[in-house]
Amino acid sequence: MLKKRSFLERLSGSIRMKDDEEFEEEEDTSKSIKRLNLDDKRELSRPKEITTNWGEEEEEQEAELTIDLYETASDIIVQTMVAGVIPENLSITITRDTLTIRGKREENQSVGNNNFFVQELYWGAFGRTINLPEEVDPEEAEAVEKHGLLIIRLPKLDKNRETKLKIKSI
């Protein structure tokens, strides 16, 4: 009696085999195909062991800082949340075409790890390097922190600005 094939069998073109059925080698004129018995299949499906050195300290990785980046007529503005970070733990580096923000949020050590029910806040080093869409004047940049929001104002370089030079006679 023929059983109806399952959707997966029809989709993949496979056939259902009984679990206790062992396969035998079949000879084909063009090539030899070896069939696996169930023990071989189970061995192949086992995940390989992954060795890890749990005793070694992992290098602290830096988390990526989330930002908002937009422009006004004269400035490029970068906003990011740095709540809980003291200004001494923030570093902002500006070139004409990049902005790098790095910092570290230090964890409150007064609460032991065993006392937490939920711990979702990020503690540790963070940073972000941003390629700016236009060249800026690093000398005129300003950074302000208010209620945990860091706002960096980067004045755009006016490439069309012209100045007239006065010629000095020597």
The ranges assigned to domains in the chain are 63-107+123-155
Contact by Cβ (8 Å): 92, 99: yes
* CB half-sphere exposure, 127, CA atoms < 13 A: 13
Topology of the domain comprising 63-107+123-155: Immunoglobulin-like (2.60.40)
Euclidean distance between CA atoms 81 and 78, whole angstroms: 10
163, pLDDT greater than 70: yes
Alpha-helix residue ranges (DSSP H) falling in 13-169: 38-45
Closest to 127 in 3D by CA, of 88, 82, 83, 76: 82
- Looking at this protein, which amino acid is placed at residue 31? K
pLDDT in tens, 22-52: 554 444 444 444 555 545 544 444 444 444 4
pLDDT in tens, 52-104: 454 444 456 788 999 999 999 999 999 999 988 988 999 999 999 999 999 99
Euclidean distance between CA atoms 79 and 60, whole angstroms: 25
Euclidean distance between CA atoms 144 and 148, whole angstroms: 10
Give the predicted TM-score (pTM) of the model. 0.58
The pLDDT of 121-147, averaged and rounded, is 92
pLDDT in tens, 101-125: 999 988 777 777 778 788 788 888 9
Per-residue pLDDT, 2: 58
Euclidean distance between CA atoms 23 and 25, whole angstroms: 7
